[in-house]
Structure 1
Amino acid sequence: MKTTIIATLIASAAAFAPAHQAVRSTALNGVDLTKEIGAQAPLGFFDPTESCGGNPTNASPEEVEEFERKRWIELKHGRIAMLAVVGYLVTYAGVRFPGAEDVPAGFAALSAVPGMVWAQFAATTAMMEAANQDQFKAPWGTAEGESKAEFKGDFRNKFIDFGWDSQSDAWKRRKRTIELNQGRAAMMGIAGLMVHDQLGNVADILP
């Protein structure tokens, strides 16, 4: 179990770095956002407030840039939510790191975790953000030249591949769609767990 937890933590670090897709220039007019990854049944391209413009089938460069920014935010939140759901379920099941056996699960852990652990958590988060902030443009725009990422969310940094480059475009699109949908489900899942935790009836939904 400890090995599983350590592997999960290592994977979580990789999740904060950008992933690979063909780099698309936003300088072209007439981009059809309704055909982007994530615009699918049953809602299709769902933008009721028209935050990405009023004509998603013929988006301007500015609208495409805004769409890509929001897509990256959604992807990142989904990745964090997936880690959060796994973390909640693991701690709820009673799994603890050595020395943390008395720390409760859920919101009750917030006041029980020592300040030094919070400091380590903040430092680790800052380190991952600094290393992987946005390899699509280079961290905080500090570097120029060729992007290391195929698309926003690609954190391989031209180093880790796992066979991604050898796959077809259709396969890559399918995998990216799966990740996006799992992230959406996880965001709903962790929100539900947090609500039931506050209501005090998590035991009614988790044996």
Structure 2
Amino acid sequence: MMKSILVAAAVAGASAFAPAQVGKTSTSLNAFENEIGAMVPLGFFDPLGLLKDADQAEFDRLREVEIKHGRISMLATVGYLTTASGYRFPDFPADVPAGLGAWKALASTSDGQNILGQMAIFFALAEAANRNVDWNDGWEPEFPGDYRNGSLDWGWDRFDDATKIKKRTIELNQGRAAMMGILGLMVHEMMGVSIIFPNPSGL
């Protein structure tokens, strides 16, 4: 019995990185059924019908938005849990709480406002850097969310196609999980029933 469970789990884990073959729905949607992210058990999942009449350009735009939100959410979740654990940068105001309460606390002091200003500059630079530049006409992104712009590689071009698909799928799934994770953390905090572990610093 245990061996059967382990085999089933292994098969499910392997299939998680393969596109799911789902039933035919409409001509416009069929083109997206084998895109990265359409996986078991849901397959191609579009409950709001955003892609009902979409072409490839619209799909790529929505996929890029999904990837960017996922990347931001991964950073947000790690940052939320890190501050909730009691960690602070050196000389960071000790009375600034973790979670959403940090925004109000920072905005109430001049030092905190300086920190918010630095954060705004960082966000602007990150947004400017993480996009396809217009002046590099000799380079085309390999996929939505590919912001290397012909200058960064990090060894990506040394991967074979199967490895690239696997890594893109992993990032997409982790981004989806992080979006749900940070949303859950924020909702629970606003409800007053935060699910984060107790802060050892008492903040």
Provide TM-score, normalisation by structure 2.
0.74
- Which amino acid is the alignment partner of residue 107 of structure 1? L
**Which one has more relative contact order, counting CA pairs under 8 Å at least 6 apart?**
1
- CA deviations on 1:4-33 (whole Å, 9 max, x unpaired) are xxxxxxxxxxxxxxxxxxxxxxxxx99821
**Structure 1 segments unaligned to the other structure (5+ residues):** 1-28, 55-61
Cα distance in 1 for partners of 2:29, 2:44 equals: 16
Q: How many residues align?
A: 165
> Percent sequence identity over matched residues?
51
- Which amino acid is the alignment partner of residue 165 of structure 2? R
- Which amino acid is the alignment partner of residue 197 of structure 2? L
- Which amino acid is the alignment partner of residue 78 of structure 1? G
Cα distance in 2 for partners of 1:97, 1:144 equals: 38
- CA deviations on 1:62-98 (whole Å, 9 max, x unpaired) are 6111111000111000000100110011000111012
Give matches, 1:1-40, under 5 Å: 32-40=31-39
CA contact (8 A) 2:84 2:196 kept: no
Match of 1:166 in 2: 158
User: CA RMSD, aligned part only?
Assistant: 2.1
- Which amino acid is the alignment partner of residue 123 of structure 2? T
- When residues 30 and 88 of structure 1 are mapped into structure 2, their CA distance, relative to the original with a 3 A threshold, is closer
CA contact (8 A) 1:75 1:153 kept: yes
- Within the candidate set 177, 184, 203, 1:185 is matched to 177
- Within the candidate set 62, 70, 76, 2:62 is matched to 70
Cα distance in 1 for partners of 2:31, 2:138 equals: 25
Superposed displacement of residue 146, structure 1 = 2.4
- Within the candidate set 91, 97, 113, 1:104 is matched to 97
Give matches, 1:113-152, under 5 Å: 113=106, 114-132=112-130, 134-135=131-132, 138=133, 142-143=134-135, 145-152=137-144
CA contact (8 A) 1:52 1:64 kept: no
3-state SS of the aligned residue for 1:155? coil
Cα distance in 2 for partners of 1:146, 1:43 equals: 38
**Structure 2 segments unaligned to the other structure (5+ residues):** 1-27, 107-111, 199-203
3-state SS of the aligned residue for 2:146? coil
- Which amino acid is the alignment partner of residue 48 of structure 2? T
Structure 1: 4+ residue segments shifted above 4 A: none
Match of 2:20 in 1: none
- When residues 30 and 81 of structure 1 are mapped into structure 2, their CA distance, relative to the original with a 3 A threshold, is closer
- Which amino acid is the alignment partner of residue 95 of structure 2? D
Superposed displacement of residue 188, structure 1 = 0.5
- When residues 146 and 52 of structure 1 are mapped into structure 2, their CA distance, relative to the original with a 3 A threshold, is farther
**Are residue 206 (structure 1) and residue 197 (structure 2) matched?**
yes
Cα distance in 1 for partners of 2:189, 2:71 equals: 21
Cα distance in 1 for partners of 2:145, 2:45 equals: 21
Provide TM-score, normalisation by structure 1.
0.72
